[in-house]
Amino acid sequence: MSARPPWRTLANAAFFKEKLNNGNKVTGKSDQAPQTPPPPETTAAWLQRFNASGLSDEERRALILERFAHMGEGVVIRPPFHCDFGHNISLGRGVFMNFNCVILDVERVSIGDLTAIGPGVQILASDHPRDPELRRRQVRYGRAVDIGSNVWIGGGAIILPGVKIGDDAIVGAGSIVTRDVPAGVTVMGNPARARAR
């Protein structure tokens, strides 16, 4: 497993404190100027349409194209589905997401071709500072999540901010993935660790 960079560096903490001391509310990436997200009611309205009963696969695909950054051919997302915005999500060809998945996409979430995601999976690109002063000021930011091609993520797994999962990897059901997963490796547990051979 590869080491991850620290959640919060002194440079990032200084960035947030400077902005907050100037009276700004900070959202968006921790390593560049803050971004203003679209109003949450626009996503809520889109999710209500997407999760409505009786829609065909074609109608759902049209809704995904309307909202997501990218969608390959043959993508299937079974409702209910939930996300923060949608416009930070890119799905490769043949991605399958089962019922009740959640993607907190305050930062980029990229899922490669032919990846299968079980029911109740949470992919969380949203993060909060470890510094209690910044949390009191409601600072939040994100770290991109990148999931490769032909990955299988078992039901109920949680993928934390900043994680990269390589091609052909498997994440066991119920696992909490806190670190990068190399290509072709099976991880499981809390925290997720490589399965012994």
- Tell me how crowded residue 49 is: count the other CB atoms within 10 A of its CB: 14
The helix/strand count (H/E) of the chain reads as 4, 19
Q: Name the domain count of the chain.
A: 1
* Structural domain contains residue 126: yes
Written as one letter, the residue type at 13 is: A
* Structural domain contains residue 3: no
The pLDDT profile of the chain, 197 residues, written as one tens digit per residue, is 333 333 333 334 444 445 444 444 444 444 443 445 556 668 999 999 999 999 998 999 999 999 999 999 999 999 999 999 999 999 999 999 999 999 999 999 999 999 999 999 999 999 888 889 988 888 888 999 999 999 999 999 999 999 999 999 999 999 999 999 999 999 999 999 998 76
* Structural domain contains residue 4: no
Q: Are 115 and 152 in contact (CB under 8 A)?
A: yes
Domain of residue 53, residue span: 10-194
Question: In degrees to the nearest 10, what's the CA dihedral of 113, 119, 125, 129?
Answer: -160
Q: Are 142 and 162 in contact (CB under 8 A)?
A: no
- Residues labelled catalytic: 128
